[in-house]
Amino acid sequence: MNKKYDAIIIGAGVIGSPIAYELSKMGYKTLTVDKLSDAGEGSTAGSCAIVRAHYSTEDGVAMAYEGFKYWLDWENYLDHVKDEKGLAKYMNTGSILIKSKGHDWRKVKKNYDAVGVKYEELTIEQVKEKASVYKLNEFWPVKRPEDPGFFDEPTQMLEGALFCPEGGYVNDPALSAHNIMRAAEAKGAEFIFNAEVVAVRSDADKVSGITLKDGTEIDASIVVNVAGPHSYKINQMAEGVYEQCNIKTKALRHEVMHCPSPEGYDYLNDGYHTSDGDCGIYYRPEVGNMFLIGSEDPECDPQEWVDPDEFYDGKGGSGRDNQLTEAQWKAQCYRLARRIPTLPIPNQPRGVCDLYDCSDDWIPIYDKSNMQGFYMAIGSSGNQYKNAPIVGRMMAELIDACEKGLDHDKAPFQFKTVYTGRTFDVGFFSRNREINYNSSFSVNG
């Protein structure tokens, strides 16, 4: 006899674990399955875990700002659960968004005002007071080091920056997912690991459960796809789901670099998360007084879409699936060195290479599907880590409403946030939407 649950969540990352947590609090008997050995060990572990409010849409800004409140009140969110690994920490450094041609910062400011985000406008002199090592010239347009004009001396100064005091980052993204797993277990949720899903079963257009690689069949009338870079493969297992989604997802290889802080500058304790569209990068403090440097996906940076199974299994044929490439290492580190001329660049690449789960417009899909009982929280990589707790609550309420008869496609679910009291039309994240051209089509969302 098959074991039966109310809901199965596929993926125990930083989005999947909160969905299990919130559904369990609502009384659902949940099982979360993951092909890896523990919560948060997939693409979540490779996340930069940045918490910032600047997005290209008002809804994006509003959701991120609501998310701040969960991270700032982490222990209460977890209902004071104990985790043998300890608790992840939110490092509230503050977030600098440099005013540049690489960001539509005026739109961001307008969105900040509409949502009520706390921020300050900084002059160049005020930015320099916060970050004395920054050289605040304009380097636009973004180039790569192999470009003959990369090292040209700048002639213009930047305009300034927007500073959001509540921004920052989480010090251990994998641990944050583990914390939420423990909180979910305290509410009755179950998790199994080293369990790979090979089939999503259905009967008469209704989901009926999953089958694992070892042949185990587990039944449930609700299945939630939160499989990260593997999300499109799970959708392909659910009959008709992949084909009926207007917006689809795929896996993008992404590299993040580590560089030491300049001598005498305590970036770890005194530095700020910075979004630097002028140089096409973002950076934040990292353990060891390092700069963590990511690309904001400028047009000159190549994008490499990959098969996640080949990437994680090392069978991509490149021999470097999860290894840093010298060209991208130089691009990101040298760009930061333009902003920080005293930056010591190491001889060998240091950093992390992992996958993003990207939708066609880099805005996630939080939705039901055409198969009754099959739901999706996908396309979230690169810019949704900060939203994980609010997404867990929103998805749980969406699932509960649909299971009680709501036709979300015809009358989209309206989700009211806890802290800011704002109501979201969850149809914004529909699988059926047209591509949203207000998006940055990048990690900025």
Tell me which residue of 250, 332, 333 sits closest to 296, measured CA to CA: 332
CA 389 from chain centre, in angstroms, equals: 12
Domain containing residue 421: CATH number: 3.50.50.60
Task: Tell me, yes or no, whether 234 and 369 share the same domain.
Answer: yes
288 and 374 both lie in a single domain: no
| Shared domain check, 8 and 74 | yes
In the block, residue with structure tokens 């070892």 = 214
Domain range holding 143?
90-170+253-355
Q: Which candidate, 282, 88, 65, 265, places its Cα nearest to that of 167?
A: 65
Same domain, 46 and 192: yes
- How far apart, in whole angstroms, are the C-alpha atoms of residue 88 and residue 172? 6
Identify whether residues 137 and 272 lie together within a single domain. yes
Secondary structure letter of residue 157 according to DSSP: B
CATH number at residue 335: 3.30.9.10
Q: 3-class SS at 28?
A: coil
Cβ 444 vs Cβ 55: under 8 Å:
yes
Instruction: From 306, 333, 355, give the residue that closes a domain.
Output: 355
User: Does some domain include residue 281?
Assistant: yes
First to last CA, the chain: 45
Examine the domain organization and report whether 327 and 283 are in the same domain. Answer: yes
Q: Is residue 445 part of a domain?
A: no
User: Closest Cα partner for 385 from 172, 117, 146?
Assistant: 172
On whether residue 201 sits in a domain, the answer given is yes
Question: Token pair for residue 42?
Answer: 């997939």
Neighbours of 350 (CB within 10 A): 17
Q: Do the Cβ atoms of 40 and 177 come closer than 8 Å?
A: yes
Hunting for tokens 């500073």 — which residue is that?
163
Q: Please, what's the b/e burial string for 370-393 (b: 16 or more CB within 10 A of its CB; e: otherwise)?
A: bbebbbbbbbbbbbbbbbbbbbbb
Q: Which helix (H) or strand (E) holds 211?
A: strand 206-212
Q: Is residue 444 part of a domain?
A: no
Structural element, H or E, at residue 160: none
Residues 186 and 125 in one domain: no
Could you tell me the CA-to-CA distances from 96 to 105, 129, 253, 328 in Å, in that order?
11, 12, 26, 24
Is residue 437 included in any domain, yes or no? Answer: no
Give the pLDDT score at 411.
98
**The whole model's pTM is what?**
0.96
Helix, strand, coil shares, percent, the chain, to 5: 30, 25, 45
Residue closest to 13 by CA, chosen among 403, 355, 246 = 355
Last residue of a domain, one of 355, 388, 419: 355
Confidence (pLDDT) at 318: 47
**What's the pLDDT at 314?**
58
CB-side neighbour CA atoms (13 Å) of 145: 13
Kind plus residue range of the DSSP H or E element containing 387: none
Cβ-contact 24, 189 below 8 angstroms: yes
* Residues 277 and 351 both lie in one domain: yes
Is residue 435, in this structure, part of any structural domain at all? no
Of 355, 388, 420, the domain-final residue:
355
The reply to whether 180 and 327 lie within a common domain is no
Strand partners, 351: 257
- Would you say residue 67 lies in a domain? yes
Q: What is the mean pLDDT, run by run of 10 residues, along the chain of 445 residues?
A: 89 98 98 97 94 88 92 96 98 97 94 95 98 97 97 96 96 98 98 98 97 97 98 97 97 96 96 97 97 95 93 58 89 98 93 94 96 97 91 98 98 95 94 88 73
| Of 192, 190, 180, nearest in space to 393 by CA | 180
Is residue 154 located within the same domain as residue 114? Answer: yes
Query: How many folded domains does the chain comprise?
Result: 2
Pair of tokens at residue 83? 């985790």
Whether 246 contacts 232, CB under 8 Å: no
Query: 264 and 238 in one domain?
Result: no
Domain membership of residue 436 (yes or no) is: no
Claim to verify: residue 284 and residue 161 sit in the same structural domain = yes
